Structure formats: C-alpha cells, structure tokens
C-alpha cells in the first residue's frame, strides 16, 4: 500500500494533465476554427468589395458615355438655337405675305359669306399685331384662315342674308364652290347671280327657280344629293 499510493497519485496526476491537455487542444481547435471562419468571412467581404468596385467602375464608365452623349446633344441644341433666330427672321415676313394674299383674295373673290370672312381676317390681323403671340401661333392662325378659304372652293353651301341691292329684304344665297353665287328671294320671284368679271349682280330668269331651290335644299342637307342645274358664268 505504501508503494501503491504514489502510483495512484501519479496516475491521477497524469489523467489531470491529459484532461488539461485535451481541454487546451479543444480550445486551440476552436480558436483555429474561429480564425478559419473569420478568414472565410473576410475573404467573402473582400470579394464583395471587389465586386462593388467593379460595379462602380462600370457605372462610372457608363456615366462617362452618357455625359459624352449629353455634351453632343448640348452642342447640337446650341447650334439649333442659333438657327431658330434665322428661321424666325424669315418666318415673320412669310406670314405677313400670306396674310396680305388672303386679304387680297377675299377682296377679289365672289362676295359670299363676306362679313364672316372679313371678321376672320380682322381676327388674324389682330393676332399678327400682338407682340405677345409667338410666330408659331401666328403662323397657325394664318394657316387656318388659308385653309378655310381653300375649303370654300370645294364645297356647296347655302345661307340666308340681306338682298344685295334691296335693303331690308331677306334672300337665300347658294354658292357652288367659287364657280357660282346666286340669290333667290323667299317668294322665288327675284333671282340673281354674281358676275365676277363686272363685279355686279345679273338677273336670272324665274324659270331657274326650281333648280336653284332644289340645290339650296341639297346644300342644307334637306334633300338627297343629285344632279342640279345652276347658273354658271360662260366659258372664256
């Protein structure tokens, strides 16, 4: 027993040392594993940062291309703005010539819807005289007046108005494009057509009343379209 006791103590001491060594090894292994995990995490973070740097480079390159394009657009717009004034200076005289031609054509034309056309020309001239109206809007107004005048030449129309030579008497006017302009009193006893060459009204035989009345009804959409006969100026 005297010999055995030291041996037992030595065994216990050895076991304690082994346990401590095992614990130290486990702790060391944990530290190694943690270090490895930290290294993996840092590696992932590093790769992510590299990817962000690549993305940022691509973005910068794209923005550089965009800015180059914008600079080109700015140069183009600058050139266009310079040409706008040139176009504007040429546009205003053209608009004024168009307006004068419209006014002259109405004065030289058959006197159908005369007051309506004069009022339109007056409104157009007011727009042209207004400095706050842009040349684009002025051109639009003149073009609208021009289109209205052109449309008259390809239409048939009828309207009520004052007798051309007998104030106070109402008549029905019939206009066939710019080829013929006639009037007829309500009792169909007085008929006349406008002679553009002499700028005067000529009497029409009362027997033409039926055809004129039918043409007026067609123009007013009161009758179906059909062939009608109306006084026309002779060919020259």
- For 161, the token pair is 């108005």
Instruction: State the Cα–Cα distance between residues 120 and 146, nearest whole angstrom.
Output: 10
Over residues 56-80, the pLDDT tens digits come to 887 777 777 777 777 777 777 666 6
Please give the C-alpha separations between residue 81 and each of 33, 78, 139, 190, in angstroms, as whole numbers. 70, 5, 19, 62
Q: What is the pLDDT of residue 44?
A: 77
Indicate the burial class of 90 (C-beta count within 10 angstroms; 0-12, 13-18, 19 or more). Answer: exposed
Q: Where are the domains of the chain?
A: 87-151, 154-219
Residues lower than pLDDT 70 in the chain: 1-7, 10-12, 14-29, 31-33, 35-39, 77-88, 230, 233-236
Instruction: Quote the tokens at residue 109.
Output: 């034309």
For β-strands 170-176 and 156-162, DSSP reports them as antiparallel
208 CB neighbour count, 10 Å cutoff: 17
Structure confidence at residue 1 (pLDDT) = 45
CA gap 175, 158 in Å, rounded: 6
């Amino acid at each position: 027993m005297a010999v055995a006791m030291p041996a037992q103590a030595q065994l216990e001491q050895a076991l304690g040392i082994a346990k401590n060594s095992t614990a130290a090894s486990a702790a060391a292994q944990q530290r190694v594993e943690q270090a490895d995990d930290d290294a993996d995490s840092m590696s992932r973070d590093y790769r992510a940062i590299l990817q962000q740097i690549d993305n940022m480079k691509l973005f910068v390159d794209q923005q550089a291309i965009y800015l180059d394009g914008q600079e080109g657009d700015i140069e183009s717009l600058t050139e266009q703005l310079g040409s706008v004034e040139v176009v504007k200076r040429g546009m205003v005289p053209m608009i004024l010539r168009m307006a004068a031609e419209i006014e002259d054509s109405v004065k030289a034309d058959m006197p159908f819807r005369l007051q309506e056309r004069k009022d339109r020309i007056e409104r157009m001239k007011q727009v042209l005289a207004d400095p706050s109206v842009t040349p684009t809007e002025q051109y639009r107004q003149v073009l609208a007046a021009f289109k209205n005048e052109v449309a008259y030449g390809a239409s048939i129309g009828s309207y009520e108005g004052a007798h051309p030579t007998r104030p106070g008497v109402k008549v029905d006017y019939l206009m066939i494009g710019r080829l013929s302009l006639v009037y007829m009193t309500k009792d169909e006893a007085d008929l006349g057509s406008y002679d553009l060459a002499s700028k005067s009204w000529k009497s029409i035989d009362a027997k033409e009343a039926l055809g004129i009345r039918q043409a007026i009804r067609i123009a007013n959409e009161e009758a179906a379209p059909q062939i009608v006969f109306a006084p026309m100026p002779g060919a020259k």
